[in-house]
Structure 1
């Protein structure tokens, strides 16, 4: 199943838990062919990621721990069914620009960004995991995110 984990030189997260989760999420893989439309929780290898997270925690004990009162990690799932005539190149360019914008704006708060190509029915799925909901929401009003949202709305 084709998928892309956007791997850049992410800023280092502040805590051992965030760093361990980022490393574990490198293993993110769909577990079923209909993952673009199926239940998100049942569509990926979360058990494997959980095991890798526990293993990675031992690697980053030199970093501070997450504050007990910190908000939980936050996953955002983007699902769409594209029109057959939409301009996918423009959409992927806008998506890349929005990712770069989020990356620059939030430092280490964007732990991972993952997306896939379209299936035979033009379904698409992208997901990102953030250190918190507030950090995820902080990019919604930025210019590249607004542009990507407009293009996406015109393409589904």
Structure 2
């Protein structure tokens, strides 16, 4: 059962069970809200408001790079409209920081990325995927927010992901992965981002 309320006109995209939760908009890349628990339905919907708040997001601390307060405020609105008390919930976050040479084929990188995203969506539990545009030095950031770490591991086990990881060494000048925990407090009244600890 979905707790998503009928949205106001400015959130028209929230009417369907299928949510655009990434830069990719064809059906194989859409998130099926019907497969998620109420807390995950609501956070995924709220994350459609996620955007970078600085042009230097590729090098800025993750918690300062995006409009998390706006996302959590939207989450609180959705929960309240559905008569739902949002429980404290945490999510697994992957941050991929990279630098690519200007000679790298962006089309090829895009093809690799699209296939890994399709696999991740099919595996279940990917709530949000975002990537930016490389800056003048080729630096960029991509990030995934998952229901939990198990989902992320399963989502990264496909052939497309394995191929993309093999390509990293040849296509990127540098790259780094961060693992974080995004914690939303009870009632969606607070949030924090901390290092992931196993």
TM-score by length of structure 1 reads 0.84
Q: Identify which of structures 1 and 2 has the higher relative contact order when contacts are C-alpha pairs closer than 8 Å and 6+ apart.
A: 1
Distance 1:140 1:112, change over 3 A: same
2:115 aligns with 97
Residue 36 of structure 1 pairs with residue 52 of structure 2:
no
Equivalent residue number for residue 83 of structure 1? 101
Q: Is the 8 A contact 1:5 1:112 kept in 2?
A: no
Following the alignment from structure 1 to structure 2, what is the Cα–Cα distance between the partners of residues 40 and 135?
Answer: 21
Q: Which residue of 2 aligns with 1:52?
A: 74
1:6–1:113 contact (8 Å) kept in structure 2:
no
- Cα gap change, 1:55/1:144 in structure 2, threshold over 3 Å: closer, same or farther? same
> Is 1:122 aligned to 2:143, yes or no?
no
Q: How does 1:107-146 map to 2 (within 5 A)?
A: 109-146=125-162
Q: Is 1:154 aligned to residue 197 of structure 2? A: no
Instruction: Show CA shifts across 1:7-42 (max 9, x none).
Output: 553111422111110111111111111111111111
Q: Verify the 8 A CA contact 1:118 1:124 in the aligned structure 2.
A: yes
Checking the alignment, whether the CA contact within 8 Å between 2:57 and 2:65 is kept in structure 1 is yes
Secondary structure of residue in 1 paired with 2:135: coil
TM-score of the pair, normalised by structure 2: 0.67
Distance 2:38 2:101 in 1: 42
State how many pairs are aligned: 146
Runs of 4+ in structure 1 over 6 Å off: none
Q: Deviation of residue 80 (structure 1)? A: 0.4
Q: Pick the structure with more strand per residue.
A: 2
CA distance in 1, matches of 2:116, 2:159: 8
Inter-partner Cα distance in structure 2 for 1:33 and 1:55: 28
Is contact 1:16–1:61 with CA below 8 Å preserved after alignment?
A: no
Distance 1:87 1:49 in 2: 33
| Partner in structure 2 of residue 25 of structure 1 | 47
Report if the CA contact (8 A) 1:91-1:151 is conserved. no
